[in-house]
Amino acid sequence: MHPASFGYRAPGSLEEAFGLLQEHGEDARLLAGGHSLIPAMKLRLTQPELLIDLRRVPGLSGIRADGETLIIGALATHTEVSTSETVRRLAPGLADTAAVIGDWQVRNRGTIGGSVAHADPAADLPVTLTALNASFVLASSAGERTAPADDFFVDFFTTALESHEILTAIRIPLLPSPARTGYAKLPHPASGYVVVSAAAALSAGESGACTGARVVLGGVAGTPHRAAAAEAALEGQELTPDVMAAAARQAVEGIDPHADSYADEEYKRHMAAIYARRAIEAAAARG
Whole-angstrom CA distances from 220 to 31, 74, 143, 226 are: 28, 26, 35, 11
Mean pLDDT over the full length of the chain: 95
The CATH number of residue 280's host domain is 3.30.390.50
**Residues 69, 166 within the same domain:** yes
14-68 pLDDT, tens digit each: 999 999 999 999 999 999 998 889 889 999 989 999 999 999 999 999 999 999 9
**Which stretches within 84-179 are classed as H helix?**
85-90, 92-99, 104-109, 112-118, 125-131, 149-152
Asked if residue 200 and residue 111 are part of one domain, the reply reads no
- 26 shares its domain with 70: no
162 and 241 co-located in one domain = no
Give the pLDDT confidence score for residue 143 in this predicted structure: 96
The answer on pLDDT for 80 being more than 80 is yes
* Average of per-residue pLDDT across 195-204: 97
133 and 42 both lie in a single domain: no
pLDDT in the model for residue 261: 87
Residues 143 and 223 placed together within one structural domain of the fold: no
Domain boundary among 173, 202, 235: 173
Long-range contacts from 155-162, C-beta under 8 angstroms, 24+ separation:
155/222, 155/223, 156/119, 156/121, 156/222, 156/223, 157/118, 157/119, 157/120, 157/121, 158/119, 158/222, 159/116, 159/117, 159/119, 161/117, 161/136, 162/138
pLDDT confidence band for 2 (50 / 70 / 90): confident
Whether residues 150 and 247 share a domain: the answer is: no
The predicted pLDDT at position 278 comes to: 98
Identify the CATH number of the domain in which residue 20 sits: 3.30.43.10
CB 222 within 8 A of CB 155: yes
99-143 confidence digits (pLDDT tens)? 999 999 999 999 999 999 999 999 999 999 999 999 999 999 999
Question: Of 121, 148, 173, which one is at a domain's C-terminal end?
Answer: 173
Do the domain assignments include residue 58? Answer: no
Residues 152 and 250 in one domain: no
pLDDT tens string 156-184: 999 999 999 999 999 999 998 889 999 99
Identify whether 157 is part of a domain. yes
Domain presence at residue 1: no
Residue 228 within a domain: yes
Out of 31-35, 83-87, 207-211, 259-263, the most confident range is 83-87
pLDDT at 240: 96
Q: Which of 31-35, 79-83, 247-251 has the lowest mean pLDDT?
A: 31-35
> Which of these three, 142, 173, 204, is where a domain ends?
173
φ, ψ (nearest 5 deg) of residue 285: -65, -25
Residue 192 within a domain: yes
pLDDT reported for residue 73? 98
Regarding whether 192 and 251 lie in a shared domain, the answer is yes
- What is the mean pLDDT of the segment spanning 256-268? 92
Whether the predicted pLDDT of 1 surpasses 80: no
Q: Print the domain residue range for 250.
A: 181-285
Any domain includes 2: no
Total of domains in the chain: 3
Q: Are residues 157 and 77 in the same domain?
A: yes
**pTM beyond cutoff 0.85:** yes
Please check whether residues 114 and 190 belong to one and the same domain. Answer: no
Q: What is the CATH number of the domain that holds 90?
A: 3.30.465.10
In the prediction, which pLDDT does 206 show? Answer: 81
Verify that 15 and 83 share a domain, yes or no. Answer: no
